[in-house]
Structure 1
């Protein structure tokens, strides 16, 4: 009965002040909706690799290599024997597994069909013991045998059609150009989206070497292309184990140390791979931990702003409810009962807001999924919650409810009945001061978000307009014919294919290269100039004679390559081109660089040209010294520069030529600009999210101002009438009632500057090339917030100020 009375009173109170209630609930709805969306995004990013039962014990081996004091490798690739030797030497390691990611795109031939681009990994027999990738048919032990493989369910259906998984055991397919078929021994469930390891086919690691020649498996000197994962025993301190790796490096890499090369092995926890990886030749599905944490902060700010609105608007109405409190206390109600009433009202409003937010999320789920480029849903997000996440969410909800519900309830229930019923109740100076503090806080946060969003947009615009030094527009990239044998006729065939392409009306130029713009080039060390002893490190690209013309790279000195510079016999390839950064690294200039001798290992090269620097990768990465060597490699994609005409027609013609020159190969293509811009996916996602949620934070803050300014104007209605009778103008009344609020917003705007500055300096540190924020970057958002706030306040006050003085003087 008591709770029913509480409910009736709460509903009547909300309905009695419909406009005020709408503003109050709307702020909470918007805030909760934003937080639910952000939680979907963040929880998925944090969920990567946590589905493995031993995820807390799995670590990835990192091999950082310094050469004569300079870091030449920061990555996950190392020698094949490293993991096995670590497991042998250190009892903390329960199990280890090796993985090799093939260079270039994998090509599979099954049922006389050729498939290009499916993800194939070479893994050893321990792989499925370390990781939890369940099988639907077959046994994990099959990976002990040579030429055996495990297919994902999707690939099994793709290669062999709809069939029972068990019936696919024993099927065969061919990988790359190898003549020996691989036998399907097991079928695995499709890899979850939140796994940093993505694969379609697992091939036995034993297939990489002959049983009688285990030099590859046991190598510590050549082919450093293998990734290692370690499963540690529970309670093992990974940092203590890392310290032991110093002795490991000294024990097994004495020859490297003698020439100045030092290996520093470290461990990266599996749960950190997705969000905290900055390694060369990264194969994993990665994102930015900074972006995710920045989004978490945005969610927190929005929720706090929404709660502040509720507290401010509820306590500002204290005068209206003071008489209610006085009467109820005289009738026998005690402070505890009143506290329950007002807390109940807070819970009711919050519950209604939450239900409305859930409905809004369901309605807006598709647009949000388009922003984050994923298939998210509220139900799957909460279904995947672990106990720790549930505790955090419940704790956050209780704290929020306590702050937004108990504080107003405590204020309202503490009024003295005698004072109130005599009409002597006045607003508490402490209460007014607290509301001012809260208004300043929420607008400080909102203004900092606006400034941050403005700077993010400026950085995105800077990246879009930055001269990359290379022309990638209208470039179609065709995957290499990987099932075509590389022999002495290969370069001639590629040259003929290029000529055939160039005869097409919409083809401007054609080139091949080991990496396209956007892909990280290979790093080469042990570089010497002439007969000097100083060693250098630089990146290296293998290109054909048309590369610089096709991509419009500026020539600074000398010449570009000719077809005669290429040769199937690598010993006869002698000429090299360098970029401006490499020329500076070697201490040369355009006057003495030509014909300079460069040694890479024992091989001598002659510099025939110097080209201007260009951005091979995104603006996150600084331009590095680059060496270009001439060749037509079997894994080199073909870049076709097109005119701006009918691309579908051009694609059909190029496909016809490709299938004519390279039968039994899969034709696959993409446009370079799209691929290059994928490097900025995290940036674009973060930019869009900040814009959307910043707008919401400003809306919530303005809703609070609308409520406060409207209520203030109503409370001073009679005063306004008297002032108008005495000759005050509408503008002077607006100024009188608005100035206090505008002062608060102005203080908030000033306080937001250091918050925005330090926050954005941290975010911009991700970029090697970035904007230099001037005063304007801070002034424009500040001015915008002031104008919006002033417009909001004045708009509400104007309604009261324009009322007829006769009606305002009668107001009670």
Structure 2
């Protein structure tokens, strides 16, 4: 017990020494103490022990010991370095495959992680990010969910803030469309703007460059613009944005000037709200207009809440049912059962499958799927490294045996092999950085962003950076640990006698890793094919409406509405049709591909006490049906006599087949001549048209009502032929400016706008395809290495077999059969995984492809063919080698 105390004293006195240095002196101190204990007694031995410890701790002695220790460490590292470089140089093919495979994998992971981290960084720059929520709203009619959106009534936010002390701040906003302004003689169009109340800049932390963020949106006719907009409107010099504050602009034909009260920095890409200008909410609803501001039926507002610190959002959300009952009294106020929920701001970008959403959104499942792809690629590359390194165990076994005979211990060998793993990883990382820089620009074009590692790292938290660094270090250590453990475990006697063989466990693990590798590749191939087929299906399916060769010309907003406007539009359309390549033209309050507004409480006029319904509505002119090749299935289409400049004089309406079914008609003909009530007036149904996909195939077709209308805010759809489109556009522009001279001519192709609905799907499909190809390349690099090494190991066996009469095909079968079995097992195991994952993915589409067996068989065939071609060169080369050369191989 006393001896243990003395030893503990030594350790305590030298606790601050480096652990390796302590090990080197501890033995000497203990040995001297025990010698003194025998010769001079315990008391003197203690004094001498203390003296020796103090003497050792003198700077000079400590420095000499420390210097000797550092020299030893340096020599060891130098030895590791020399051996690692020699092994890389000695096995150039395997080293190249390892470094290139890891390099490609790391480059792929870096690009994917860039994308994922950027998508996850949305809105985190706001000070109140963790406490900000937006209100979402579900509406139910007749027991059915009719709307799942972020759009609700003006009074919801302020009333909730009044009723619930848990709410610290709120803000309201509403999109205002494009801000088309006139400054002097200059007209500017296309700025994306929103109405926002005075609390907006307090709830959100967009940096201000000029003006007071608290007061900027308080007064009527106030305008807050971004840096880019200020530069465009006023050509700001030397970043002097204060000079912009107080400037006035004119919006549309409004004679009331709007005053610039503030300039904020450009909205970051990773903000779910994107705008170029904010117009004060007071400009939309004046303080004395209580009817609109207190409305419980006008549904156009989006509301955001900042909760007080410590508030449990779920507890607050549970109170919303009582709130709804208190103000909506079931469905008596709005005609719907209203349910309100809180969505965290952190989910607004990735998890927003809401109708009428003004947010910049992405598919959260797709983003996480990309991260899973990155993990698979990294695992595949790690498997390559493990398999290729352990497959060389026989060659390294002799080295290990000799080093153990010379006195090396297992820990030294493990450190040696871990060092080699780190060195290979570092070289691969250099390759990855080079590859990333080469492909960064094309990758940015695919994702539609402007990413780089500097951009991403500047927008993520330190703990996330440390997590990424730790994950990278762990991946290197894990991929290097198993080979290090295997290679350092060889028994020197067995190895030097030439009796070393791979263990059964080692073979099973290696085969298991190969199976996992190709199973992952097969799942990725299946996913790529399915995504491609779904996108192709959506792009090529019959929409029920002809959108081909259709040009959309933006509305002439800077034209006054009066009794002559309808005739002016008709003259404009008639003159367009005199252009050789123009077939027809029509105006409508929205275009195919866009989300329509909804009207509630629709019912047959003679059944006012019955159920009420919700339908989408579209204002169209009499040319719309013909322009889009819609066939009237009952009654007639609109005629010129159905239109009137006075809205109150409009009487006739059309519906689609879905609306007739919703209203209880057994056939479309039954509704002709019946009166339907919506917007508080009765309309006579004069025609029925077929259902068509107003939006893409991700959404179900809805019941629709069409009413005859014209407006200065209606775009024009122009159907053209197959002639010279450039010349046609020039003639259309000249005609537009002739009739609407004070407007900017802006156009787009309807097909492009329709396909933009699938932008996220196309982006996801492209990214998955690229990284699937990379995963296959990495897997094939590993297969090349394994098959090559297997062929080298069995060189003598091949020679003997050929001498005994084996043909080239026999040898090829011998070398490839084991690998092909593993690959077949991998592809078979991938089938249920692929089916499960893709079935969940397709659930997000209202219209989707059928998962036929051929779509699952194709990846199996592809993997087998790719693997066979990958192995064929080395295997056939080995099989063709002359027996005389192979038998003297060793």
TM-score when normalising by structure 2: 0.89
Gaps of 5+ in 2: 1-74
Greater Cα shift, 79-88 or 711-720: 79-88
Cα drift, residue 234 of structure 1:
2.2
Decide which moves more: 513-522 or 480-489. Answer: 480-489
- Contact in 1 for aligned 2:546/2:628 (Cα 8 Å): yes
Contact 1:72 1:525 (C-alpha < 8 Å) held by counterparts = no
1:76·1:282 contact (CA, 8 Å) conserved in 2? yes
- Per the alignment, residue 116 of structure 1 pairs with 189
Aligned residues: 810
- Residue 406 of structure 1 pairs with residue 511 of structure 2: no
- Give the equivalent residue in structure 2 for 1:463: 538
Q: 1:209 to 1:534 in 2, by over 3 A?
A: closer
Deviations, residues 255-289 of structure 1 (Å, cap 9, x unaligned): 74477522111111111111111222221111111
Aligned partner of 1:762 among 819, 833, 840 = 840
1:625 Cα deviation (Å)?
1.2
Is it true that 1:527 corresponds to 2:605 in the alignment?
no
How far, CA to CA, are the matches of 1:783 and 1:343 in structure 2? 38
Distance in 1, matches of 2:324 and 2:671, equals 39
1:162 matched to 2:236? The reply is yes
State the distance in 2 between where 1:529 and 1:377 align: 58
What CA distance in whole angstroms lies between the structure 2 residues aligned with 1:525 and 1:40?
44
Tell me which of 543, 568, 572 is aligned to 2:645: 568
Cα gap change, 1:337 to 1:766, in 2 (>3 Å): same
Q: Distance in 1 between matches of 2:152 and 2:649?
A: 30
Taking the aligned partners of 1:748 and 1:170, their CA distance within structure 2 comes to 69
2:581 to 490, 493, 506: 506
Between the aligned partners of 1:97 and 1:83, the Cα distance in structure 2 is: 7
* Superposed CA RMSD: 1.5
For the 8 Å contact 1:480–1:636, the answer to whether it is kept is yes
Kept after mapping to 2: 8 A contact 1:68/1:260: no
Cα distance between partner residues in 2 of 1:53 and 1:697: 40
Q: Which moved more, 1:269-278 or 1:69-78?
A: 69-78
Q: How does 1:249-648 map to 2 (within 5 A)?
A: 249-254=324-329, 256-257=331-332, 261-532=336-607, 533-588=610-665, 589-600=667-678, 602-648=680-726
Distance in structure 2 (CA, Å) of the matches to 1:208 and 1:459: 43
Moved more, 28-37 or 105-114: 105-114
Q: Which residue of 2 aligns with 1:670?
A: 748
Question: Aligned in 2, Cα 1:783/1:719: closer, same or farther, shift over 3 Å?
Answer: same
Question: Which secondary structure state, in structure 1, belongs to the residue aligned with residue 292 of structure 2?
Answer: coil
1:210 alignment counterpart = 286
| Shift of residue 527, structure 1, vs aligned partner | 1.4
The 1:259–1:666 alpha-carbon spacing in structure 2 relative to 1, beyond 3 Å, is closer
Who is 1:177 aligned against? 253
| Distance in 1 (alpha carbons) for counterparts of 2:537 and 2:147 | 30
Moved over 6 A (4+): none
1:35 matched to 2:109? The reply is yes
Output the CA distance in 1 between the equivalents of 2:146 and 2:558. 33
Alignment partners' CA distance in 1, 2:509 and 2:762 = 39
Q: Following the alignment from structure 2 to structure 1, what is the Cα–Cα distance between the partners of residues 344 and 358?
A: 16
Q: Which residue of 2 aligns with 1:737?
A: 815
Contact 1:558 1:609 in 2 (8 A): yes
- Indicate the structure (1 or 2) with the bigger Cα radius of gyration: 2
Q: Residues 138 and 339 of structure 2 are in contact (CA less than 8 Å); yes or no, is this contact kept in structure 1?
A: yes
**Alignment match of 1:236 (pick from 311, 315, 324):** 311
584-593 or 42-51, which moves further after superposition?
584-593
By how many angstroms is 1:601 displaced? Answer: 5.0
Secondary structure at 2:671's aligned position in 1?
coil
Name the counterpart of 2:32. none
User: Does the residue aligned with 2:826 lie in a helix, a strand or coil?
Assistant: helix
Cα deviation for residue 176 of structure 1 reads 2.8
CA distance in 2, matches of 1:303, 1:622: 39
Structure 2 Cα separation of the partners of residues 601 and 159 of structure 1: 40
Q: Quote the residue 1:651 is aligned against.
A: 729
Contact 2:139 2:147 in 1 (8 A): yes
Superposition deviation, residue 516 in structure 1: 0.4
2:253 and 2:716 mapped to 1: Cα distance? Answer: 19
1:255–1:425 Cα change, 3 Å? closer
Q: Is the 8 A contact 2:121 2:460 kept in 1?
A: no
Deviations along 1:184-218, whole A, 9 cap, x unmatched? 1221111111111111112221222334333333x
Query: Given the superposition, is the C-alpha separation of residues 213 and 461 from structure 1 closer, same or farther in structure 2, using an over 3 Å criterion?
Result: closer
Structure 1: tracts of 5 or more residues without a match: none
- Judging changes above 3 Å, is the alpha-carbon distance between structure 1 residues 384 and 355 closer, same or farther for their aligned structure 2 residues? farther
Distance 2:739 2:566 in 1: 13
1:114 Cα deviation after fit: 1.8
| Structure 1 residues 571 and 169, CA gap change in structure 2 (3 angstroms) | closer
Of the structure 1 ranges 152-161 and 499-508, higher mean CA displacement relative to structure 2 is found in 499-508
* Deviation (angstroms), 1:496: 1.8
Greater CA drift, 633-642 or 12-21: 633-642
Residues 519 and 40 (structure 1), Cα distance of their counterparts in 2 relative to 1, 3 Å cut? same
The corresponding residue for 2:873 is 795
Match of 1:10 among 84, 91, 106: 84
Separation in 1, partners of 2:178, 2:683: 30
- Match of 2:26? none
CA distance in 2, matches of 1:274, 1:489: 45
For residues 134 and 684 of structure 1, what CA distance do their matches in structure 2 show?
34
Question: Is 1:137 the equivalent of 2:210?
Answer: yes
Q: 1: CA distance between counterparts of 2:694 and 2:803?
A: 74
For residues 231 and 322 of structure 1, the distance between their equivalents in structure 2, rounded to whole angstroms, comes to 65
Aligned match for 2:134, one of 53, 60, 68 = 60
In the alignment, what sits opposite 2:265? 189
After superposition, what is the alpha-carbon deviation per residue over 1:283-337, rounded to whole angstroms, capped at 9, x for unaligned?
Answer: 1111111111111111111111010110111111100000100100111111111
Displacement after TM superposition at 1:778 (Å)? 0.8
